[in-house]
Amino acid sequence: MAESKLKAPPSNGVARQVLPDKKREKKFLNLLTKITNVFNEYYILKTGYCVTLDKEKPFIVVLDEDNMALFKEVLGEIEYFHVLDNRKWKKALTDEGAYAAINDYAKHVTSQHEKNQVMEKLESYLDIILGCEKWESFMLSQDEEENAKLLNSLFNENEYIMFKPVNTCDSPDVIITKAIFPLAKESNVSKLYYSIQQINEELYCMVCDFQFDLFRVHGIHYFIGFDTDKTE
């Protein structure tokens, strides 16, 4: 069996690991590539969650046991790992002799303040997700032909779409783009679900759930609704 050159970066005395073969190395690097489509800067926790403090990227990636095992083979027993630049980290991992540069793009989190920030963000998202009582398949129209046309406009033509949630707390329409559904596309939209929560009289939250091949992605998006039946 050929030895992989993908090894763990030296960090705070954590032992360097070696992925066992080229097949798992390729899978790990593919995993990093797909995560980049969700966010490029993020924290990976040993519990399998990936989350960022970037307010423009309100997403959580949830790794399954096998994919989390890939990270553990590289990170050892590190509990909090901050990927500063996923694209450059991946490149550093694939370049033999580049391990000295890895800490420029990913590092072991030792600050308790930073850990607290990550956990507060993660727990706030999880509280919202756990509060979802009903999930709906993502459809833009009940008419099959019209739905296909709108999905094409959303995912292939990058258009803004007026979306009317169904069976969810009388939510108003919301304007959406494909940017709120990382990795989802017209061909796999059947794996996309959503749930609406009403936060107060005007504020709503749309939680998206997408099961990608390598992991699950949750998105949390707030929007304002106005009662069009009210008049001055």
* Chain segment 61-103, per-residue pLDDT in tens: 999 989 998 888 877 778 899 999 999 988 888 776 556 667 7
pLDDT, the chain, mean: 84
Question: What stretches of 60-143 show up as alpha helix (H) in DSSP?
Answer: 65-75, 86-94, 112-130
CB distance 20 to 4 below 8 Å: yes
CB distance 60 to 50 below 8 Å: yes
Mean pLDDT of 26-52: 93
At residue 9 the predicted structure's pLDDT band, cuts being 50, 70 and 90, is very low
